[in-house]
Amino acid sequence: MGNEALRAAGLTKRYGRVVALDGLDLEVGTGEVHAFLGPNGAGKTTTIRILLGLLRKDGGEVSLLGRDPWRDAVGLHRRLAYVPGDVTLWPALTGGEIIDLLGDLRGGLDQARRRELTERFSLDPTRKARAYSRGNRQKVALIAALASRAELLLLDEPTAGLDPLMEAVFRDCVAAQRREGRTVLLSSHLLAEAEALADRVTIIRAGQTVETGTLAALRHLTRISVEAELARPAVLDDLPGVHELSVTGTTVRCQVDRAALDEVTGRLHQAGIRALTCRPPALEELFLRYYTPERSAPGGG
């Protein structure tokens, strides 16, 4: 128990006939940045709302900082900060007022950090929320969360409205939070974000966990992307473990299972290598495999 900031096992939630969570498992260790990945509608937001005690689970187990998020919601909320995916604010209040309001409601705000973050995110806190763009509304919620003294941050697609510059600021801030020993759960469908920030990753689909682990561990399961420019055409299509092969003249592109890598490079070598790129799989490719139903399950052939 002691080392987990957050644990869910076999979590289920249904809305009428729609099953939103179907036995979801999620574990986040204290002090880690954990990416929570899945396509739209996979159940990310539902999970986070259950963790916040805003929704009641139908089945399974869930604990947050060692306590029950539904029964101890208020006590837990003293120790966490949340940024929703779609931030709605009070139209007649200014951004600065709302940051302070949310700080008050959470039980404290680090004023020095609030000033620093407002500057770094270049937010004008004197404007009314109704005049803010989506990105600026997001910044208000982010500043309020990052300037809080919470030990756990729950961020639901926090960069959806931010430009690349602000995204970089956000990444810096999350890294700083980790150095201070805070736990971050970062839900996203942006893989670059997870790759840049996360210690561990949980991937869900249709309300179920399909994969969890460190990025390195996940890559074990995955194919290597090979692209080669050859002297002569090579024959690869008879090899087991070669996928998505495309041959254009002397250019070869394919995905190779780790077990078949040796064999493939041997054949390429025989054909005379002019140029060779071998890439570990980007998370995008992992993603494509999990979310494209026709493809086989990971680890198979």
Partner 1 sequence: MSGRTGPAGPASPPSPRFAGTGRLTRLILRRDGLLLPVCVSGIAALLAITARDLKVLYPTAASRQSVAARAGGNPALRFLLGRLNGTTVGAFLAARWAVWGSAFAVLLTVFIVIRHTRGDEEAGRLELVGSAVVGRQAPLTAALLTAGPVNLALALLTFGWLAVLRLPAAGSAALALSIAGCGLAFAGVAAVTAQLATTARGARGLALGALGAAFVLRAVGDAGSTANLSWLTWVSPLGWVESARAFGAAGERWWVLLLPLAASAALVAAAFALAARRDLGAGLLADRPGRPDASGLLRGPFSLAWRVQRLMLAAWLAAFGFGFAACGAGARGAGSILGGNAVLRRYLLRAGYQATVINAYLSALMLLAGLAAAVFATAAVLRLRAEETGGLAEPVLAAATGRIRWALSHISVAVGGAALLLAGAGLAAGLGYGLLTGQVGTQVPDLVGAALARLPAVAVLAAVAVLLFGLLPWASAALAWTAVALVGVIAVFGPPLQWPAWLMDISPFTHVPRLPGAAVTAGPLLWLGGIALAAGAAGLIGLRRRDLGDLGPAGLGGLGGPVRDRLADHFFPPAETL
Under the binding rule (CB under 8 A), the answer on residue 139 touching partner 1 is: no
Q: Which stretch binds partner 1 (CB under 8 A): 60-68, 198-206, 263-271, 293-301?
A: 60-68
Q: Which of 37, 89, 174, 268 binds partner 1 (CB under 8 A)?
A: 89
* Cβ 130 to partner 1 shortest distance, Å: 7
Residue list 185-204, contact with partner 1 (CB under 8 A): none
* Cβ 101 to partner 1 shortest distance, Å: 7
Under the binding rule (CB under 8 A), the answer on residue 86 touching partner 1 is: yes
Q: Which stretch binds partner 1 (CB under 8 A): 104-112, 232-240, 252-260, 291-299?
A: 104-112
Under the binding rule (CB under 8 A), the answer on residue 253 touching partner 1 is: no
Under the binding rule (CB under 8 A), the answer on residue 92 touching partner 1 is: yes
Pairing of strands 251-256, 208-214: unpaired
DSSP secondary structure, 102-120, as one string: HHHHHT---HHHHHHHHHH
Sign of CA dihedral 41, 47, 49, 55: positive
DSSP secondary structure, 151-219, as one string: SEEEEESTTTT--HHHHHHHHHHHHHHHHTT-EEEEEES-HHHHHHH-SEEEEEETTEEEEEEEHHHHH
Under the binding rule (CB under 8 A), the answer on residue 88 touching partner 1 is: yes
3-state secondary structure (DSSP) of residue 273: strand
Under the binding rule (CB under 8 A), the answer on residue 124 touching partner 1 is: no
Cα angle for residues 25, 187, 222 (degrees, 5° grid): 70
Under the binding rule (CB under 8 A), the answer on residue 80 touching partner 1 is: yes
* Cβ 53 to partner 1 shortest distance, Å: 8
Under the binding rule (CB under 8 A), the answer on residue 272 touching partner 1 is: no
Q: Which of 154, 185, 201, 228 binds partner 1 (CB under 8 A)?
A: 154
Pairing of strands 183-188, 33-37: parallel
In the numeric block, the tokens 């990052």 are attached to 146
Helix (H) or strand (E) holding 246: strand 242-248
Task: Tell me the CB-side half-sphere exposure of residue 158, using CA atoms within 13 A.
Answer: 32
Binding residues for partner 1 (CB under 8 A): 15-16, 30, 49, 52-56, 65-67, 72-82, 84, 86-93, 101-102, 104-108, 128, 130-131, 141, 149-151, 154, 180-182
